[in-house]
Amino acid sequence: MLQEPMMEKLTAMRLTGMVDALKAQEQDPASRELSFLERLGLLVDQQWTWRENQALARRLHAAKLKGACVEEIDYRASRGLDKSVIRALAQKSAWAAQHENIFVLGPTGVGKSFVACALAQKACRDGYSAFYTRAAALFRDLAIARADGSLRSLLARLGRIDVLVIDDWAMAPLSETERRDFWEICEDRYQTRSTILTSQLPVARWHEQIGDPTAADGILDRLVHNAHRIEMRGDSMRKKRGTQPSS
């Protein structure tokens, strides 16, 4: 029978989606009523879908996001979230296509990280690469890379990511080395990639946290002018959940 060798060849060519679709067709009597081209079209569609799903799984794994998605954003709590703004940003992730940035601002515990990761996850679903890191971890990784000689490689890798999510930005004043490294990241990504920053501080306070006026001007000039701002407010949701009586 020719079917088994054909399956083996399809598997060897990594056409796993087509193999699964062919098996499903063989078990479905209705498929025998289809023409050759109709059956072939279904096989090709299944292979395409399988490949897209595999690519998405790889992007999500590499992104290291916190399991958030825009469909699960809670608008019931009084946090200043505008559903129409989030929906507009999520619509085909046009902000990522246009290399725009997003700032998610507000006090601790209001869900800034979730919103940032949800928008990045939607960008992944729309075909963009993403990567999540906390600011402290980013600067630690940069310091390690500088020490072991891999800084250029790390900066190049960060420069290729379509959506870079940096959580807890501007929590502490930057050192001279941190300013220089972050300026390089911003320069490499300017008008070619998108960055999402979450921060407890308003944008007006970032300049003093960066420190050096010249470096601060250069960094903020590359971030602020093409950025969407999501300003959240309210009490910590973690605190609220902690005070709720158990059922």
Residue 123 DSSP code: H
pTM metric for this prediction: 0.82
User: Collapsing DSSP states into helix, strand and coil, what is residue 194?
Assistant: strand
The reply to whether 222 and 106 lie within a common domain is yes
What was the pLDDT predicted at 137? 97
Beta bridge partners of 198: 104
pLDDT in tens, 55-111: 888 999 999 998 899 999 988 877 889 999 999 999 999 999 999 999 999 999 899
Q: Which amino acid type is present at position 142?
A: L
Residue 145, domain member (yes or no): yes
Structure tokens given for 152: 């250029």
Domain range enclosing 20: 3-62
Residue 46, domain member (yes or no): yes
The reply to whether 193 and 227 lie within a common domain is yes
Residue 245, domain member (yes or no): no
Residue 246, domain member (yes or no): no
The reply to whether 25 and 76 lie within a common domain is no
Beta bridge partners of 164: 131, 195
The reply to whether 16 and 74 lie within a common domain is no
In angstroms, the CA 125 to CA 139 distance is 28
The reply to whether 45 and 69 lie within a common domain is no
Q: Please say whether the beta carbons of 186 and 222 come within 8 A.
A: yes
Nearest-5° Cα angle at 214, 210 to 219: 55
Question: What is the average per-residue pLDDT within 134-152?
Answer: 97
What was the pLDDT predicted at 33? 85
The reply to whether 109 and 15 lie within a common domain is no
Who contacts 121 (Cβ-Cβ below 8 Å, separation ≥6)? 60, 63, 65, 68, 69, 70, 130
pLDDT in tens, 7-54: 888 888 888 888 888 888 888 888 888 888 888 888 888 888 888 888
In angstroms, the CA 10 to CA 75 distance is 47
Q: Give me the sheet containing 163-167, strands edge to edge.
A: 130-134, 163-167, 194-199, 101-105, 227-231
The reply to whether 103 and 123 lie within a common domain is yes
The CATH number of the domain holding residue 196 is: 3.40.50.300
Residue 131, domain member (yes or no): yes
Residue 247, domain member (yes or no): no
The full 3-state SS of 164-192, as one line of letters, equals: EEEECCCCCCCCHHHHHHHHHHHHHHCCC
Sign of CA dihedral 105, 111, 112, 115: negative
The reply to whether 107 and 217 lie within a common domain is yes
- % of the chain exceeding 70 in pLDDT: 95
What was the pLDDT predicted at 243? 47
The reply to whether 181 and 216 lie within a common domain is yes
Nearest-5° Cα angle at 93, 224 to 91: 120
Residue 240, domain member (yes or no): no
For the cut 60, the answer to whether the pLDDT of residue 245 exceeds it is no
Return the higher-pLDDT residue of 242 and 27: 27
Residue 155, domain member (yes or no): yes
Among 41, 62, 83, where does a domain finish?
Answer: 62
Of 199, 166, 203, nearest to 182 by C-alpha is: 166
| Overall domain count for the chain | 2
Who contacts 100 (Cβ-Cβ below 8 Å, separation ≥6)? 194, 226, 227, 228
The reply to whether 80 and 165 lie within a common domain is yes
Among 62, 94, 109, where does a domain finish?
Answer: 62
The reply to whether 36 and 124 lie within a common domain is no
The reply to whether 193 and 114 lie within a common domain is yes
